[in-house]
Structure 1
Amino acid sequence: MTRIIADISVSLDGFVTGPDPGPDNGLGTGGEALHTWAFSEAPDDRRILREAAARSGAVILGRRLFDIVDGPNGWDETTGYGAREVGKPAFIVVTSSPPESVRLTDLDWTFVTTGLPDAIATARERAEAASSDSGKDLDAVLMGGGATIRSALAAGLVDELTLHLAPVVLGAGTPLFTGGAPRTLVQRSVISTSTVTHLTYDVL
């Protein structure tokens, strides 16, 4: 069964970027430390990244994150989705204004202008179609940014939350959580490596 999974790296003080993120500084000042684990050679880090890429039938992202990954300093053959475990699922971008062109033309982009619930519904459909084609269950993954994941959680659209808790205090940046209604999580797994603690929760 296709699940909606929010998957993001976060600092100990709850930020998903450092200060002053932007198209030329996507993770903000010091934010690269959040993703050290994705380039680690630790066996558990490699396995978790490989498994996450393999289960992704579709990926949802917000427009700000799209502008970063498709920008001139964005993804390339070594830093695409899944890093060295490169997969090419469908990418669904929630935006009020689709771009006139994309740089990463080898990826499958769909731009949804009717809101986050419709973007997630589209991603679920694409993931279910990919599941049927591959013969294995694939998920729709919310990769960010922080506001997109926060909105999806608040709207009750997320089945599972995976946090990669990096051992860094950024002090400022883009927060993952900014208040809102309480939400119950059920811890499924905790895996600690030398670079990060991988936390997985069911969202009730």
Structure 2
Amino acid sequence: MTRVVADISVSLDGFVAGPNVGLRNGMGDGGMQLHAWAFSDDPDERRLLQRGTDRSGAVIMGRTLFDVVDGPEGWSDEVGYGAEEVGRPPFFVVTRSAPASVRLAELDWTFVTTGLADAIGAARESAEAVSATHGKDVDVVLMGGGELVGSAVNGGLVDELVLHLAPVLLGSGTPLFRDPVPRTLVQRDVVVTSNATHLTYDVR
């Protein structure tokens, strides 16, 4: 069964990016430390990254994150979705308006201007079609940014929350949750690796 999974790296003090985020500083000051696990040679971290990439039948991101990954310092043929485990699922971008042009035109982009719920609906249809074609379940993955993931959890749109908790205190930046809605999380899995603690929750 296709699930909606929010998957994001976060600091111990709750930030998903450092201060001063920009097109040439996509993770903000110090924010790349959050993703050290995704670029390491640790075999457990490589396995987790590969598993996350393999399960991604469709991926959702917000417009700010899209502008970063499609920007001049963004994704390349070597480093794209899934860090060095470059994946090419269809991507759905939640935005007020589509961009005039796309640098990464070889990827499958859909720009959804009618809101997050509609983007999740379209991504679910796409992921379910992939599941039917390949005979295995794949999921809809919300990769960020923080506002999009936080809004999706608050709105009850997420089935599973995966946090890669990095041993970093950023002090300020983009928080994962602003004014969170009370929700019960059921812990399903905890994996400790050299660069992060990986937490998986069912969201009730």
Fold-level similarity (TM above 0.5):
yes
* Structure 2 counterpart of 1:147, one-letter code: E
Asked if the contact 2:161–2:203 (Cα under 8 Å) also holds between the matched residues in 1, the reply is yes
* Structure 1 counterpart of 2:108, one-letter code: D
- Deviation of the 1:196 alpha carbon: 0.5
CA RMSD of aligned residues (A): 0.7
Asked if the contact 2:53–2:82 (Cα under 8 Å) also holds between the matched residues in 1, the reply is yes
1:50 aligns with 2:50: yes
* Structure 1 counterpart of 2:162, one-letter code: T
What SS does the corresponding residue of 2:41 show, helix, strand or coil? coil
- Deviation of the 1:133 alpha carbon: 1.4
- Deviation of the 1:55 alpha carbon: 0.6
1:115 aligns with 2:118: no
The corresponding residue for 1:203 is 203
- Deviation of the 1:26 alpha carbon: 0.4
Report sequence identity in percent.
67
What SS does the corresponding residue of 1:16 show, helix, strand or coil? strand
Query: Gapped runs of 5+ residues in structure 2?
Result: none
The corresponding residue for 2:103 is 103
Quote the Cα distance in structure 2 between the aligned partners of 1:79 and 1:145: 18
What SS does the corresponding residue of 2:147 show, helix, strand or coil? helix
Quote the Cα distance in structure 2 between the aligned partners of 1:135 and 1:97: 35
1:29 aligns with 2:51: no
Once the two structures are superposed, residues 99-129 of structure 1 have per-residue CA deviations (whole angstroms, 9 ceiling, x without a partner) of: 0110001100000000000001011011011
The runs of at least 4 consecutive aligned structure 1 residues that moved more than 3 Å come to none
Quote the Cα distance in structure 1 between the aligned partners of 2:47 and 2:86: 13
1:188 aligns with 2:182: no
Aligned counterparts, 1:4-83, within 5 A: 4-83=4-83
For structure 1, which segment, 81-90 or 66-75, has the greater mean C-alpha deviation from structure 2 after superposition? 81-90
* Structure 2 counterpart of 1:91, one-letter code: F
- Deviation of the 1:135 alpha carbon: 1.2
- Deviation of the 1:23 alpha carbon: 1.1
- Deviation of the 1:3 alpha carbon: 0.2
TM-score w.r.t. the length of structure 1 is: 0.98
Quote the Cα distance in structure 1 between the aligned partners of 2:166 and 2:175: 14
* Structure 1 counterpart of 2:66, one-letter code: F
- Deviation of the 1:2 alpha carbon: 0.3
- Deviation of the 1:51 alpha carbon: 0.5
TM-score w.r.t. the length of structure 2 is: 0.98
What SS does the corresponding residue of 2:183 show, helix, strand or coil? coil
Quote the Cα distance in structure 1 between the aligned partners of 2:146 and 2:84: 23
The corresponding residue for 2:167 is 167
- Deviation of the 1:32 alpha carbon: 0.6
Once the two structures are superposed, residues 56-82 of structure 1 have per-residue CA deviations (whole angstroms, 9 ceiling, x without a partner) of: 000000000000000011001222001
Q: Would you say how many aligned residue pairs link Structure 1 and Structure 2?
A: 204
Asked if the contact 2:150–2:180 (Cα under 8 Å) also holds between the matched residues in 1, the reply is no
